[in-house]
């Protein structure tokens, strides 16, 4: 399911140009909702996202897919992420469910490093 959704998001927001090795849920991410290792194309989402609204999970996927293009949280990165129209809403939702402190931390919204 995640792989299929990542492909759809790739087509819609990245013109289908991104490539990765895997997109999967993991149970060991307790301080963040997602992570990406651009070097090997591995994207991991916290299993906690499986029970959240689809538009929140989509935001985290957009965030992590954007790391395949931009490894940092600079202006170019946020320009990519902000193509997703529910970015601010999803960030607010993640802050409300307990990521508030991290979300204001080192990486701007930080909810999906």
Domains of the chain: 2-97 (3.30.2010.10)
Task: Assign residue 99 a region (left: φ > 0; alpha: ψ between -120 and 50; beta: otherwise).
Answer: alpha
Per-residue H/E/C for 62-109 = HHHHHCCCCCCCCHHHHHHHCCCCCHHHHHHHHHHHHHHHHHCCCCCC
- Percent of the chain beyond pLDDT 70? 87
Summarised one tens digit per residue, pLDDT across range 45-67 is: 999 999 999 999 999 999 999 99
Summarised one tens digit per residue, pLDDT across range 70-83 is: 999 999 999 999 99
pTM: 0.86
């Amino acid at each position: 399911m995640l792989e299929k959704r990542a492909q759809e998001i790739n087509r819609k927001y990245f013109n289908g140009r991104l490539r990765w090795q895997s997109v999967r849920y993991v149970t060991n991410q307790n301080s963040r909702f997602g992570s990406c290792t651009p070097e090997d194309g591995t994207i991991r989402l916290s299993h906690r996202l499986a029970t959240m609204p689809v538009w929140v999970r989509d935001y985290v996927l957009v965030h992590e897919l954007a790391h395949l293009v931009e490894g940092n949280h600079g202006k170019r990165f946020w320009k990519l992420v902000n193509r997703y129209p529910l970015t601010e809403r999803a960030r607010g939702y993640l802050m409300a469910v307990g990521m508030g402190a991290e979300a204001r931390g080192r990486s701007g919204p930080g909810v999906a490093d």
